[in-house]
Chains A and B, each alone.
Chain A
Amino acid sequence: MRLTLNIWRQRDAASAGSMQKYELDGVSEDMSFLEMLDVLNEQLNEQGEEPVAFDSDCREGICGNCGLMINGQAHGPEVTTTCQLHMRSFKDGDDITIEPWRSDVFPVLRDLIVDRSAFDRIIQAGGYISANTGSAPDAHAAPVEKKKADRAFDVATCIACGACVAACPNGSASLFMGAKITHLGELPQGQPERYDRVVNMVGQHDAEGFGGCTNIGECTAACPKEIPLDVISQLNKDLRTALKQGR
């Protein structure tokens, strides 16, 4: 198939960017979206034009490194990561607009690459269980109700790609944060730090400049791992409890 691509090009964080148009022919429906960009880049390199920079690593939907706004949707038209989106979701003659994640907290570093280090800082603020190596009791010392263990796993599948933030009209990272708070909060091991965790993570989230949640639900619709919206309810519930305790 033949495509017209409108791609955001930006030299670095300090420069202004703009949309550029490229024609690409011979695209096979078996290509992934990123392989289509590989083909474009090979073509640009031959023509003496610098290739389009974009993040990707595992290309099997688990590392969370890739992520593009495709025709205005985070990760494009399917519920999956950009690397797992295939060109059979498009048709000959399509115009495709490709932009980096939209969020002030994720500044563009070049072309389609953004800086998501704010996510690491939110985890540093409390997204962990304090258990030094060597201090652990036997793994069977604390049984976990299967329902809770399964829910902990379901929400622990978040890949921190940032699609939730890019999709949210308020630029909130509540889904990302709620997933971690729910994962650790469902487990007995996570109880001792549960309420300090939520206060500290929310504090960091706000300090980074992410917006608040207004229950619109774009985040969960865009999430390639289908993290449910109710993790944000859990986050709010834990936060209320924590504040009542005067934390």
Chain B
Amino acid sequence: MASAQGTSPLNKPAQQVSDDARGYYTHGEPLVDPVAPTGPIDQRWTQRVFDNRLVNPANRRKLDIIIVGTGLAGGAAAATLGEAGYNVKSFCYQDSPRRAHSIAAQGGINAAKNYKEDGDSTFRLFYDTVKGGDYRSRESNVYRLAEVSANIIDQCVAQGVPFAREYGGLLDNRSFGGVQVSRTFYARGQTGQQLLLGAYQAMERQVAAGTVTQYTRHEMLEVIVADGKARGIVARDLVTGEIETHLADVVVLANGGYGNVFFLSTNAMGSNVTAAWRAHRKGAYMANPCYTQIHPTCIPVSGAHQSKLTLMSESLRNDGRIWVPKKAEDCDKDPRDIPEEDRDYYLERIYPAFGNLVPRDIASRQAKNMCDEGRGVGPAVTEVGPDGTEQQVRRGVYLDFADAISRMGRKAVETKYGNLFDMYARITGEDPYETPMRIYPAVHYVMGGLWVDYHLQSTIPGLFVTGEANFSDHGANRLGASALMQGLADGYFVLPNTIREYLADGPFEKIDESHPAVVEARTDVEQRIQKFLSINGTRSADSFHKQLGNIMWEYCGMERSEEGLRKAIDMIRDLKKEFWTNLRVLGTNESINQSLERAGRVADFIELGELMCIDALNRRESCGGHFRAESQTEDGEALRHDDEFAYVAAWEWSGEDGLPVLHKEDLIYTAIEMKQRSYK
């Protein structure tokens, strides 16, 4: 089929009719990716790698690159650009680059190697990823991702990443959520750790070689935009409090996702949006901020003290069966005393074809529905509503391995899931071999992020964004084992081949600390810190963060409605006012001050939260991780509206008191046809 090769459009631009968010935003000019490739889809990237200008090795050492973040995307980019001979400065807030949160990814990394000869191909990985993302991603970017996926595995093996192997010594694969081929490479339940250590070691090698300078315990607090180009950052040394200026020819943000806007998430405690948000306020558009992934298999909240949530690999759904009692009065019984006929295996009942293996968004939403009906299990915990009211709710569903244990034997279950069962036992104090596990969904990943073009460049020239921090590859929902793939694809193979097109015009005219843009950025940072320290109110940054999280989870979580989102926006605006008048940060700037660090992050989360709600309010359709109550089928399934919303919503900051400006980038497919997802 000629049309499916990417030479002619298969859909028309969307025309939005509804306008739920009227009054909360203004319309901007349509947005077009200025460097979008054309032509046959399988030749676009190869052609672009060739077309992009080169920087000769002698010039590379005259070019300075700042990279913020040292996870898979940032670490891999620092190593690769260092090897190429550029001067790289790498920043992370942790005490070592090796601690970036990519390290916590469990399941695996996808690659279209087709080592299993089960019909996999670059095109199939591309197809699965676009479909899984509910047709809200850019096809050229996704195809490129699928294309370089195989190189990632080669690179990692060469670095000594100890992937799982078969007895013949070759690499093992497994299958993963929502696809029918085995293309996932893994290192037991610690794939992210091993991949990150590979990138970290490659980066440390460049530190030793002198091409990369690493700045640990440093937090980027502002981007410097001089004469229309990103030329550096202002960072705070978290040990001494010193405010530092770092200048360069180009700045790369690889600062990860903003799931912690919900306070409780599977993200690390320090994961934050500050680097991206500061860039947004300086002109970088934020795309699809409402696209959040909520992972169905996490350990439930145990009380108000909860600081974070722990994910358990999705692979558990391969053998565990999910259920709740049919009758609410059975919910506090010992599950083993509830007879088979009184159990509701609701996923198997509603989705007989996919059963417990429905995609993440569906499994999550149904768990919430069961608990909302009063059929949740586990200890009732106090939930503080966004308005401060307290109620007792059981938030959990059973994930039961009794059948698997009798079918496979305890030994086999131990071999397959032992480490996860141990982790569960440690956290809950319950033995999952004896009694069913309890699980509940938790915020895990964000598909939204800073808008980037095909070269991963934001709307600020010279500011590139990679990994989870950008919006580009996962549409409205990310498939399992694809986050690691994207981080490393961007860091090892994409950015190094696109950034050179920009750097070919460099080195740019040197600027120094007296440049007005530098002075302005530094002054902003210093004044903001002084402000936090001088409010002298009564509440900690954490307490504001928790309250924001409650609002976001209730109104911008698994299900969003017009009414709820309007309410949330009002509440967030009130919270913002209180934050800036009633915050208490003790201590000074001149030493480690974790309360001060948190205050800065929470301030940015509050502003982001408002934009997420506005984006969710505008998008009156259900797609991927974004479920709007007003857009569902008769039997309660997500209903997409391609005719209105097949576009990327890119938001422009217009000042503290201005309304965000919406720029739409049409999603036009040439190699794949849009279809409504169905898992029944």
Contacts and interface: CB of A to CB of B under 8 A. Distances in A.
A132 B158 CA distance: 9
Given A140-B171, A145-B169, A153 B187 contact: yes
Interface in A172-193: 183-184, 187, 189-190
B595 A51 contact: yes
A25 interface: no
A30 B302 contact: yes
Contacts of A116: 95-96
A109 to B, nearest CB: 6
Contacts of B156: 139
Interface in B541-590: 542-543, 584, 586-587
B216 A117 contact: yes
Interface string B477-492: 0000000000000001
A62 B194 contact: no
A240 B155 CA distance: 31
A61 B209 CA distance: 31
A246 interface: no
B164 to A, nearest CB: 8
B427 A63 contact: no
Q: How large is the interface on B (under 10, 10 to 19, 20 to 34, 35 or more residues)?
A: 35 or more
Interface in A20-58: 28-32, 34-36, 38-39, 41-42, 45-46, 48-51, 53, 55-58
A7 interface: no
B160 A60 contact: no
A243 interface: no
A127 B592 contact: no
Interface in A113-135: 113, 115-117, 119-120, 123-125, 127-135
A74 interface: no
B331 to A, nearest CB: 19
A55 B207 contact: no
A64 B540 CA distance: 26
A216 to B, nearest CB: 26
A137 B540 CA distance: 53
Interface of A: 11-12, 28-32, 34-36, 38-39, 41-42, 45-46, 48-51, 53, 55-65, 78, 80, 84, 86, 88, 109-111, 113, 115-117, 119-120, 123-125, 127-140, 142-146, 149-150, 152-153, 156-157, 159-160, 183-184, 187, 189-190
26 contacts: A29-B429, A45-B540, A45-B586, A49-B586, A51-B595, A57-B270, A58-B103, A59-B269, A59-B307, A59-B308, A63-B103, A86-B426, A110-B591, A115-B95, A116-B95, A120-B207, A129-B160, A132-B83, A134-B493, A136-B158, A144-B165, A146-B166, A149-B164, A150-B165, A152-B162, A187-B162
Interface of B: 76, 79-80, 83, 94-99, 101, 103-104, 113, 115, 151, 153-160, 162-171, 187-188, 190, 193-194, 197, 200-202, 204-205, 207-208, 214, 216, 239, 266, 268-270, 302-303, 305-308, 310-311, 423, 426-429, 492-493, 496, 538, 540, 542-543, 584, 586-587, 591-595
